[in-house]
């Protein structure tokens, strides 16, 4: 029985998409993320990755012979709306969800999914709290912020030893969590921050913050947050004469970051998984994205991989029961995906730990060689 249901007064934007014309869809797959709002570019990555993967699964026979139909929920990048989406999915009988994208929303929605017998795989929510609760139904294809922070902190401590470091974050579960993990790792290696500041998501003017950074003679700014605020922050910093090195995490892995920041972003550093587009396993999927005129940047292939994991786990379990599928995913077997093999631990985290350093130059980003 559903333990949490959407109230009649609540509203949620949902769209049903058919991705196969061969047969009527029999299995509904929920896709939940920021389809509108300031960070909708990440919603596009999520939906593009899932759609192309589902087209392939359906062409290969679907899930145990049943075609997949997508139901898209727009959480608007807001935790309350994310819970609304989760409750709507639950009330509509959805049993599988790919999403959400942001950690705070994912953690809130995961409780609804767990209580209603629904299995979820997030391609991007990286806060350790997403899986540390060890809910039976929660998995991800990305890594964790404590892993990413360890790499970022090492980069800061080695490249900027003896420099004045500022830690800035957006006060969200993702942004603050990543910033704190990065600072902790840098501190362990001897680099202490000169100041720590938080900004508010949605703000447009960072003059006061930039003045404080300048008055503290900051040499490098590490930002925990998403591309909208980081793009504005770095652009305004350059306009106001702050030439400090900027560095962030995977929240900057979108072409929208450059669209907002412009040439002020040139030279900005960020951490992310090694580019999955370079993997041989991705060749077939990349051809499909090219045919669809989609650029599979950053988390697009992580969403694609989530569908691959689900499809293989269903086949291995020979069941469409979410709990049976979760047991298979927790069993230690390896799943073959476009981002490489994935094996899950008892929490639902991939067992591999792979983050690399990237840099923005002339409107695009590229991975830097190790120790660069």
Residue 68 forms part of a structural domain: yes
Provide the domain limits for residue 92.
Answer: 13-143+278-340
Cβ 70 vs Cβ 19: under 8 Å: yes
Q: Give residue 12's pLDDT.
A: 52
Same domain (yes/no): 28, 116: yes
Residue 8 within any structural domain of the chain? no
Q: Is residue 150 part of a domain?
A: yes
Using the structure block, give the residue that is written with the tokens 């589902």. 54
Burial class (CB in 10 A: 0-12, 13-18, 19+), 46: buried
**Do 227 and 362 fall within a single domain?**
yes
In this structure, the answer to whether residues 171 and 115 fall within a common structural domain is: no
Q: Is residue 289 part of a domain?
A: yes
> Are residues 157 and 251 located together in one domain of the fold?
yes
Q: Are both 360 and 217 inside the same structural domain?
A: yes
For 221-261, what is each residue's pLDDT tens digit?
A: 999 999 999 999 999 999 999 999 999 999 999 999 999 99
- CATH of residue 285's domain is 3.40.50.2300
Whether 176 and 250 share a structural domain: yes
Condensed to tens digits (0 to 9), the pLDDT of residues 40-56 reads: 999 999 999 999 999 99
Does 219 map to a domain? yes
Let me know whether 122 and 212 are in one domain.
no
Number of domains in the chain: 2
pTM above 0.75, yes or no: yes
pLDDT at 83 over 50: yes
């Amino acid at each position: 029985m559903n333990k949490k249901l959407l109230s009649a007064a609540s509203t949620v934007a949902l769209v049903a998409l058919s991705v196969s014309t061969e047969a009527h869809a029999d299995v509904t797959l929920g896709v939940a993320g920021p389809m509108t709002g300031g960070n909708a570019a990440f919603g596009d990555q999520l939906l593009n990755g899932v759609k192309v993967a589902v087209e392939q699964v359906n062409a290969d026979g679907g899930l145990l012979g049943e075609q997949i139909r997508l139901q898209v929920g727009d959480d608007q990048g807001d935790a309350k709306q994310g819970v609304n989406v989760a409750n709507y999915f639950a009330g509509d009988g959805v049993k599988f969800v790919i999403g959400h994208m942001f950690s705070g929303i994912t953690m809130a929605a995961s409780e609804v999914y767990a209580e209603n017998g629904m299995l979820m795989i997030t391609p991007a929510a990286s806060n350790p709290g997403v899986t540390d609760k060890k809910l039976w139904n929660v998995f991800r294809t990305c890594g964790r912020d404590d892993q990413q922070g360890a790499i970022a902190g090492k980069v800061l401590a080695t490249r900027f030893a003896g420099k004045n470091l500022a830690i800035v974050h957006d006060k969200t579960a993702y942004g603050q969590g990543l910033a704190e993990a990065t600072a902790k790792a840098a501190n362990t290696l001897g680099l202490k921050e000169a100041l720590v500041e938080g900004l508010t998501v949605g703000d447009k003017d960072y003059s006061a913050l930039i003045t404080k950074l300048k008055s503290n003679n900051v040499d490098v700014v590490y930002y925990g947050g998403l591309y909208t605020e980081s793009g504005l922050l770095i652009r305004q910093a350059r306009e106001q004469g702050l030439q400090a090195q900027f560095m962030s995490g995977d929240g900057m892995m979108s072409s929208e970051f450059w669209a907002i920041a412009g040439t002020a972003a040139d030279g900005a550093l960020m951490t992310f998984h090694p580019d999955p587009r370079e993997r041989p396993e991705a060749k077939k999927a990349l051809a499909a994205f090219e045919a669809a005129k989609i650029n599979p940047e950053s988390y697009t292939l992580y969403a694609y991989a989530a569908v691959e994991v689900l499809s293989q786990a269903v086949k291995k379990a020979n069941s469409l029961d979410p709990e049976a599928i979760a047991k298979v995913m927790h069993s230690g077997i390896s799943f073959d995906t476009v981002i490489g093999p994935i094996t899950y631990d008892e929490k639902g985290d991939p067992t591999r730990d792979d983050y690399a350093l990237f840099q923005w130059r002339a409107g695009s980003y590229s991975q830097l060689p190790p120790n660069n």
